[in-house]
């Protein structure tokens, strides 16, 4: 495609939105609603983002469909029927396609198009976005709705390229049933949420399954099952009330089944009863209001370990499938009703890597310190370079040509999880230091996109100045993020992707704001209502449209 060069100072469009997952689709719609011209870019061939790429067998959401959905449109809430209380990947992707079509934003998206770079032009105040198809688009506002878990972690294992069989990543699973594992010997590396979901599905068809586990995870029952028609009717009655209610919660949702007792106020018999009720009711993670306190957390962790062990018949396997090294919640817990029992089948075997580490992947399979396991297929469920990985995958340069990689060399820094000092009018929904993966990502996508476009509306009404957070605000937000992380059991002591510990050499910073959705939402809108005191406003370069600049 020919490179298009508009006259200096003139944008091609008001807004560029990168990505078409939950946040991207809604951002495109919001832009249109506000009369802004917008272009969207998506590296996949369809909408869906994370739910487009992670099409592995067994992929489903563990936040209930009642909650994990858009609520901005009453019609969408009323016209979409979920088939399951915790929807699977294909259904969620269909839903996102339905919303994108209903909102008429599909036409705005260039698919199969990766954004390679985003550069801030200081003389014009525009962002210049360059794509893999050779196009350059200049815009006033850039919204990088690129997701938190969209940059797969490269397998850091010697010999990956030498394997003679088939290899797949859960994070980019081939579509349309093209993978056939019937009768094959399959090795799965990784036992996070993706590994826990894919292993039982593979075990249904494969001849032999070897699960290479470095760290065991907590696995609790799912909340999947039929939708409750009464609940659906209630949601449809007043979707906007539901939307408002979500924003008043800690996690951005109102899960079905939630304990309202405080663990430390119960006697021994009461604790045992409440733990068992929560396990049987599939809400063990939400059993107690004081579950974050160390004593309560330790008891919940022990209880889950016991329940997990009871599901596995072989004592060695049971012992090794249980996480002894971190408290419940230190890593992202997994949910499955079938994962642990899968190891009771004779053709499924656990390989405990702390005892027999992988030495190398060889042409015929995987060699550990104990043996070489012959394989036809290796499935990598090895996770993501989370949160900052997708940002670094784009070459972003802000004021003075400063790159985002340099700005974030010591870990992500931003204010309110959306804007970075030195990168004016660039917005990063679903990114670092937002409630992100510890909240309902669908609610977060709507909240952040609302905040971003309310901010854009404010800027347009004030002569389109450049807006960036002040360094002091970023420092304050870093301290706030750390302060709340310190209250979360295991957050700062467990090696997890929350803090970048899964990527060798990555800066260790806890990247999720744990202050709760309500507090986050209120803090964002306090800034807007008070004219952005935590930000710096730089006057617009357009003659006659400037405003008085002020520091934050």
What is the pairing mode between strands 348-352 and 13-18?
unpaired
Quote the least distance from Cβ 298 to ligand N01, whole Å.
21
C-alpha 425/C-alpha 541 separation (Å) is 14
Interacting residue with ligand N01 among 65, 131, 150, 193 (CB under 6 A): 193
CB nearer to ligand N01: give 263 or 380.
380
> Could you give the 3-state DSSP secondary structure of residue 21?
coil
**DSSP 8-state symbol, 407:** H
**Closer Cβ to ligand N01, 432 or 437, answer by number:** 437
> 147 or 424, CB closer to ligand N01?
147
Does residue 101 sit in helix, strand or coil? helix
Cβ neighbours, 10 Å, residue 121: 13
Could you say whether residue 61 binds ligand N01 (CB under 6 A)? yes
**For the chain, what is the largest distance between any 2 Cα atoms, rounded to a whole number of angstroms?**
77
Scanning 291-299, 377-385, 456-464, 542-550 for contacts with ligand N01 by CB under 6 A, the matching segment is: 377-385
Instruction: Report whether 67 contacts 231 (CB < 8 A).
Output: no
89 touches ligand N01 by CB under 6 A: no
Q: Which of 55, 224, 318, 381 binds ligand N01 (CB under 6 A)?
A: 381
From the CB of 143, what's the least distance to ligand N01, in Å? Answer: 22
- Phi first, then psi, for residue 95 (nearest 5°) are -60, -45
Cβ atoms 45, 112 nearer than 8 A: yes
How far apart are the C-alpha atoms of 238 and 249, rounded to whole Å?
Answer: 18
Closest CA to 11 of 549, 546, 393, 540: 540
Q: Is residue 80 a contact partner of residue 74, using CB atoms and an 8 Å limit?
A: no
344 contacts 314 by C-beta, under 8 angstroms: yes
Q: Select 30 or 282, whichever has its Cβ closest to ligand N01.
A: 282
Nearer to ligand N01, 14 or 385 (CB): 385
Tell me which stretch binds ligand N01 (CB under 6 A): 192-200, 233-241, 399-407, 513-521. Answer: 192-200
Nearer to ligand N01, 135 or 151 (CB): 151
**Among the candidate windows 14-22, 161-169, 208-216, 263-271, which touches ligand N01 by CB under 6 A?**
208-216
| Residue 332 found at the interface with ligand N01 (CB under 6 A) | yes
Residue 251 in the binding site for ligand N01 (CB under 6 A): no
**How is the chain split among helix, strand and coil, in percent rounded to 5?**
35, 20, 50
Q: How far is the CB of 452 from ligand N01 (least distance, A)?
A: 23
Kindly compute the dihedral angle of the four CA atoms of residues 191, 194, 195, 198, in this order, to the nearest 10 degrees: 160
Burial of 386 (0-12, 13-18, 19+ CB in 10 A): buried
Q: Which stretch binds ligand N01 (CB under 6 A): 74-82, 185-193, 483-491, 527-535?
A: 185-193
Rounded to whole angstroms, the Cα distance separating 277 from 287 reads 9
We find the least distance from the C-beta atom of residue 502 to ligand N01, in angstroms, to be 5
Q: Does 382 bind ligand N01 (CB under 6 A)?
A: yes
> Which residue in the set 215, 276, 311, 523 belongs to the binding site for ligand N01 (CB under 6 A)?
215
Q: Residue 361's closest CA among 176, 198, 210? A: 210
Query: Is residue 265 a contact point for ligand N01 (CB under 6 A)?
Result: no
At 417, give phi and psi (nearest 5°): 70, 5
Q: Does 253 contact ligand N01 by CB under 6 A?
A: no
Tokens representing 331 are: 């890593």
Query: x/- site string to ligand N01, residues 278 to 317, per CB under 6 A?
Result: ----------------------------------------
Select 120 or 384, whichever has its Cβ closest to ligand N01: 384
Q: In this structure, are residues 86 and 61 in contact, taking their beta carbons and an 8 Å threshold?
A: yes
Exactly one of 11, 44, 190, 330 binds ligand N01 (CB under 6 A); which one?
190
List the interface residues with ligand N01, window 476-535 (CB under 6 A): 497, 502
Binding mask 426-465 for ligand N01 (x = CB under 6 A): -----------x----------------------------
Query: Sign of torsion, CA 365 368 369 370?
Result: negative
How far is the C-alpha of 136 from the C-alpha of 156, rounded, in Å? Answer: 34
Among 44, 192, 259, 429, binds ligand N01 (CB under 6 A): 192
Which of residues 116 and 353 has its CB atom nearest to ligand N01 in the complex?
353
Q: Tell me which residue of 159, 168, 162 sits closest to 188, measured CA to CA.
A: 168
Q: Residue 49 interacts with ligand N01 (CB under 6 A)?
A: no
How many residues touch ligand N01 (CB under 6 A)? 27
Contacts with 406 (C-beta within 8 Å, 6 or more apart), sequence order:
none
The stretch among 40-48, 122-130, 193-201, 265-273 that binds ligand N01 (CB under 6 A) is 193-201
- Cα–Cα distance between 40 and 304 in angstroms, integer? 44
**Residue from 76, 110, 157, 266 in contact with ligand N01 (CB under 6 A):** 157
Between 39 and 153, CB nearer to ligand N01: 153
Q: Which residue is nearest to ligand N01 (CB)?
A: 192
- The residues of the shown chain that bind ligand N01, judged by CB under 6 A, are 61-62, 149, 155-157, 170, 189-195, 197, 212, 214-215, 332, 353, 381-384, 437, 497, 502
């Amino acid at each position: 495609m020919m490179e298009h060069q508009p006259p200096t100072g003139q944008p091609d469009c008001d807004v560029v939105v990168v990505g078409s997952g939950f946040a991207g689709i809604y951002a495109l719609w919001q832009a249109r609603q506000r009369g802004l011209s917008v272009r969207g870019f998506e590296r996949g061939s369809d909408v869906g983002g994370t739910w487009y790429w992670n099409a592995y067998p067994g992929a489903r959401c563990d936040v209930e469909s009642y909650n994990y959905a858009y609520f901005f449109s009453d019609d969408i809430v009323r016209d979409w029927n979920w088939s399951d209380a915790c929807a699977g990947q294909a259904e969620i992707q269909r839903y996102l396609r339905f919303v994108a079509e209903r909102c008429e934003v599909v036409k705005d998206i260039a698919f199969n198009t990766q954004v390679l770079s985003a550069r801030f032009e200081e003389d014009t105040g525009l962002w210049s976005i360059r794509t893999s198809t050779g196009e350059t688009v200049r815009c006033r506002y850039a919204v990088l709705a690129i997701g938190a878990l969209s940059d797969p972690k490269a397998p850091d294992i010697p010999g990956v390229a030498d394997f003679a069989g088939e290899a797949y990543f859960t994070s980019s699973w081939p579509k349309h049933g093209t993978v056939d594992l019937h009768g094959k010997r399959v090795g799965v590396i990784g036992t996070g949420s993706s590994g826990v979901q894919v292993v039982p599905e593979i075990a249904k068809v494969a001849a032999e399954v070897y699960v290479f586990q470095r760290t065991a995870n907590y696995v609790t029952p799912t909340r999947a099952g039929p939708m409750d028609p009464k609940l659906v009717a209630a949601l449809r009655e007043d979707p906007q009330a539901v939307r408002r209610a979500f924003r008043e919660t800690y996690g951005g949702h109102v899960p079905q089944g939630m304990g309202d007792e405080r663990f430390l106020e119960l006697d021994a018999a009461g604790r045992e009863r409440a733990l068992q009720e929560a396990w049987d009711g599939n809400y063990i993670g939400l059993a107690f209001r004081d579950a974050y306190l160390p004593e309560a957390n330790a008891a919940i962790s022990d209880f889950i370990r016991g329940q997990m062990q009871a599901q596995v018949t072989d004592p060695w396997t049971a012992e090794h499938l249980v996480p002894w090294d971190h408290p419940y919640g230190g890593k992202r817990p997994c949910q499955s009703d079938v994962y642990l029992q899968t190891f009771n089948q004779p053709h499924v075997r656990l390989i405990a890597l702390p005892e027999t580490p992988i030495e190398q992947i060889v042409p015929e399979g995987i060699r550990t310190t104990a043996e070489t396991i012959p394989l036809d297929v290796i499935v990598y469920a090895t996770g993501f370079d989370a949160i900052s990985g997708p940002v670094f995958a784009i070459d972003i340069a802000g004021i003075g040509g400063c790159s985002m990689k340099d700005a974030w060399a010591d870990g992500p820094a931003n204010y309110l999880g959306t804007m970075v000092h030195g990168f004016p009018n660039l917005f990063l929904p679903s990114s670092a230091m937002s409630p992100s993966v510890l909240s309902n990502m669908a609610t977060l996508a709507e909240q952040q996109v609302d905040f971003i476009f309310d901010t854009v509306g404010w800027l347009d009404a004030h002569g389109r100045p450049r807006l960036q957070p002040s360094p002091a605000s970023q420092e304050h937000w870093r301290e706030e993020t750390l302060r709340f992380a310190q209250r979360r059991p295991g957050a700062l002591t467990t090696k997890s992707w929350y803090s970048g510990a899964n990527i060798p050499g990555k800066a260790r910073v806890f990247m999720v704001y744990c202050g709760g959705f309500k507090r986050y939402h209120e803090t964002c809108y306090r800034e807007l209502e008070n004219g952005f005191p935590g930000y710096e406003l730089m006057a617009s370069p357009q003659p006659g449209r400037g405003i008085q600049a002020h520091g934050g």
